[in-house]
Structure 1
Amino acid sequence: MPSGLVALLDDVAAITKLAAASLDDVAAATGKAGSKAMGVIVDDAAVTPRYVAGFTAERELPIIGKIALGSLRNKLLILLPAALLLSAFAPWLVTPLLMLGGAYLCFEGTEKVVEAIFGGHATEEAPVTGDATVLEAQKVSGAIRTDLILSAEIMAIALAEVSGSPIVTQAIVLALVSVAITLGVYGVVALIVKMDDIGLLLAQRDNAAARAIGRGLVTGMPLLMRGLSIIGTAAMIWVGGGILVHGLETFGVNGPAHISHALSAAAKTLPGIGSAAGWAAGAAFAAVVGLIVGGAIVLGHAAVMKLRGKHA
């Protein structure tokens, strides 16, 4: 009996260590997958506030809450099962789909650059008129549809990071990424949307420091939104380009990856800033690839739209 008990305790200890190691693996994979999807996350946070523009202040947070719930449904009920089925029955499709998503990121980011330089589709948000309930439902529906595209790219990036793991680990990591990114993105969006209101409240306080902070928040919000938009656009281009470079290497086209590695290795020799310089060199090369691919798609899209008789 004692020996049997000792053996049982040994088994429990072994299982506990295995579980702890598995949790460490899940945490590491979740963090890595989330960091790889950062370009999409920042762009999502920069884009979403426009869906509440024109509505009254008391409807802003409820609208964001509805969009966040729809985003979570997109990820957990549609994209997560689809990703697991893909991993189980057609894992060879993961890299091509990831590259397709990377090309889309390059296209969307480059299109924003072109519009910023030459002018394009940007329009001023008009106040909401008509039936506010119907318009709110339309805005939420449109935001959730847009989120589905961005969420699909996030899930594809996450799946690529854990494609070699057991299916249970994949499911846990994808679920954690889904929840963490949704809460993070829409929590930040809610804070951004209400920041001017917080600033106005602080600006009305008797305390001079509070008033100064409030005025700073109110005047700084446009700069923050512009900065988020720029960072999101840049991140989409270099993340998309990096996905394409890695995907090509997977299919045996090693030239772009060799150039990227050579540039990073050369930059890492710089004294004091070697690690940062190496990362920046690799990201810059990926951004160049992203701009080239995105530019080609933008030109092709414009040509197709002209052939169809529409204004590109």
Structure 2
Amino acid sequence: MPSGLAALLDDVASIAKLAATSLDDASAAAGKAGAKAAGVVVDDAAVTPRYVVGLSPARELPIIGKIAIGSLKNKLLILLPAALLLSAFAPWAITPLLMLGGAYLAFEGAEKLIEAFGGGHHDAKEEAFDDLVALENAKVSGAIRTDLILSAEIMAIALNDVADRPILVQGMVLAIVGLAITVGVYGVVGLIVKMDDIGLHMAKGSSAPLRGVGRGLVKGMPVVMSAIATIGTAAMLWVGGGILVHGAHTFGFVWPEEIIHDAAVAVASALPFGGPVAEWLVTALGAGIVGVIVGGVLAVIVHQIGTMRRKPEAADPSAH
């Protein structure tokens, strides 16, 4: 009996050690995978604040909380099981799906560039709501739908980075990435949307330096929001283009990645210092150019299809 108990305890200890090793492995892999998804994370953080614009300041944090819960459900209840099934039964589909997501990111980034240069408005007009609760629910639903697309890309990037690991480690990595990114993104978003309120509170303080900082926060928030939007657009183009370039290399079209790599190495070698930074910047720029080209072509096609659909409606008075 004691020997049986001792053997059982040994087995439990071995399982616990294996689990701890797997957790350490998963944590390291999650950090690496999360870093590769950083561009999409920036875009996620840049997109979300617009969903609380025009609503009561008292409802901003509750709304962000609802979106965060929806985002967590997207990642853990929908995307994580789907990713593991994909890894187990159709690993060949990971790269094509990544490239499809990369094309979508490039398209979204190109649309924002077109808007910035006065080429139209991508966002549809908001529906009028008499009920503030209905408006809030609509904004939350829209944010969660957008998050599902961005979260799918984040999870796909993470899965692609650990596709050769055991299924248990894959699941742990995706769960860690999903949880950490959701907490990080929506924590930052909550801080961003309340920054002006924090500034107003500080501006009413008794300390002159504190009041100055508060006024600076209030005046600076429009600049910060604009900068975040710009960074988000650049991130979409850079990440989308990078995914497409890497995917093309996987399928045998090696020359785009080789051209970008050779240019980055040449620039880094020509500089007396800051070579690694310059190499990264040139690589990101090259990926961004690919994103602009592919996204621009897709945007033109989508706009042309939209124009063709509107023409019959304009010609048919009954359509109005």
Compute the TM-score of the two structures, normalised by the length of structure 1. Answer: 0.91
Q: How does 1:1-312 map to 2 (within 5 A)?
A: 21-121=21-121, 130-269=130-269, 270-309=271-310
Compute the TM-score of the two structures, normalised by the length of structure 2. Answer: 0.88
User: Is the 2:27–2:176 Cα contact (8 Å) retained in structure 1?
Assistant: no
CA shift in 2, pair 1:74/1:262, >3 Å: same
User: Is the 1:36–1:239 Cα contact (8 Å) retained in structure 2?
Assistant: no
Task: Supply the distance in 2 between the matched residues of 1:9 and 1:47 (Cα, whole angstroms).
Answer: 51
Task: Supply the distance in 1 between the matched residues of 2:305 and 2:14 (Cα, whole angstroms).
Answer: 61
Opposite residue 231 of structure 1, the aligned amino acid is I
User: Is the 1:26–1:169 Cα contact (8 Å) retained in structure 2?
Assistant: yes
Q: Please, which moves more after superposition, 139-148 or 83-92? A: 139-148
Task: Supply the distance in 1 between the matched residues of 2:267 and 2:188 (Cα, whole angstroms).
Answer: 34
CA shift in 2, pair 1:259/1:24, >3 Å: farther
Opposite residue 145 of structure 2, the aligned amino acid is R
Shift of 1:146: 1.2
- 1:15-35 CA distances to partner (integer Å, 9 max, x unpaired)? 777655533432222112211
- 1:124-154 CA distances to partner (integer Å, 9 max, x unpaired)? x99x962111211111111111111111111
Q: Which runs of 5+ in 2 are unaligned?
A: 1-6, 314-320
Please list every run of at least 4 consecutive aligned residues from structure 1 whose deviation after the TM superposition is greater than 6 angstroms.
Answer: 7-17
RMSD across aligned positions (CA): 2.6
CA shift in 2, pair 1:8/1:180, >3 Å: same
- 1:68-111 CA distances to partner (integer Å, 9 max, x unpaired)? 10110111111110000000000000000000000001100111
User: Is the 1:199–1:214 Cα contact (8 Å) retained in structure 2?
Assistant: yes
Shift of 1:13: 9.1
CA shift in 2, pair 1:92/1:38, >3 Å: same
Counterpart residue number, 1:4: none
Task: Supply the distance in 1 between the matched residues of 2:154 and 2:257 (Cα, whole angstroms).
Answer: 22
Identity of aligned residues (%): 63
Task: Supply the distance in 2 between the matched residues of 1:213 and 1:250 (Cα, whole angstroms).
Answer: 51
Task: Supply the distance in 1 between the matched residues of 2:83 and 2:10 (Cα, whole angstroms).
Answer: 37
Task: Supply the distance in 1 between the matched residues of 2:159 and 2:8 (Cα, whole angstroms).
Answer: 37
Shift of 1:41: 1.2
- 1:36-75 CA distances to partner (integer Å, 9 max, x unpaired)? 2112211111111111112212111111111110110111
Shift of 1:265: 1.7
- How many equivalent residue pairs? 306
User: Is the 2:33–2:158 Cα contact (8 Å) retained in structure 1?
Assistant: yes
Task: Supply the distance in 2 between the matched residues of 1:71 and 1:289 (Cα, whole angstroms).
Answer: 29
Shift of 1:267: 2.3
User: Is the 2:111–2:122 Cα contact (8 Å) retained in structure 1?
Assistant: no
Task: Supply the distance in 2 between the matched residues of 1:10 and 1:255 (Cα, whole angstroms).
Answer: 54
